[in-house]
Amino acid sequence: SAVISQKPSRDICQRGTSLTIQCQVDSQVTMMFWYRQQPGQSLTLIATANQGSEATYESGFVIDKFPISRPNLTFSTLTVSNMSPEDSSIYLCSVSRGYGNEQFFGPGTRLTVL
Amino acid sequence: AQSVTQLGSHVSVSEGALVLLRCNYSSSVPPYLFWYVQYPNQGLQLLLKYTSAATLVKGINGFEAEFKKSETSFHLTKPSAHMSDAAEYFCAAMNYGGSQGNLIFGKGTKLSVKP
């Protein structure tokens, strides 16, 4: 298994500002992902965080809006830029030790944009 | 494209009754499949996973799921519901395209347990 922490756990932000969410894992992992869970909805993959290279974004998500960093095998950040109320969601980090292995999820960051 | 369908956004059972949560996947290649549970205001916890070994998979908290290729299904069951099982359950398939290994989630089923 893996123990994953996210900071902050929740935040209330003003429209037009940016928030950076941190994801820390207690051991090195191959894969790290960022998901969004809008209110009452399922999880949607935003991007795969690649160590040492640019993240791989899913359709509908762009780097300018959701810049991601992954400087090493245990840490990643997701920034939600120029926020609007539509960005109010839970953002979850997940990790995996490789294809076919289960993903472990962090506790999530609950973001509210006013 | 792969997809996961969960029939029933809300299922209600009585305590002690059978729990059956339905999941179907669409894929020409049987994928790796997972069930996760999300309790209110918490992250996702893995219940069980299917990775092409035994078709009947046992998980935590008394849950199990059976992979049926002919029906493209991976339904989750528990013989006797407990009040603590009330939560949202997500079925997910691992994306084999693009070699990313990310998960494709169903819309989720909220389980309520009546006393």
Q: What is the pLDDT of residues A85-97, one digit of tens each?
A: 999 999 999 999 8
Instruction: Give the C-alpha distances (Å, rounded to integers) separating B74 from B17, B18, B32.
Output: 20, 16, 10
Q: Which residues of B touch A (CB under 8 A)?
A: 32, 34, 36, 41-46, 49, 51, 90, 94, 98-108
- How many CB atoms lie under 10 A from the CB of residue B48? 20
Does the pLDDT of residue A69 top 60, yes or no?
Answer: yes
State whether B100 and A48 contact (CB < 8 Å). yes
Å between A35 CA and nearest CA of chain B: 10
What's the longest Cα–Cα distance across chain B?
46
Considering only CB atoms, A106 lies closest to which of B43, B49, B104, namely: B43
Q: What is the pLDDT of residues B44-83, one digit of tens each?
A: 999 999 987 788 999 999 999 999 989 999 999 999 999 9
Q: Which DSSP string corresponds to B69-81?
A: GGGTEEEEEESS-
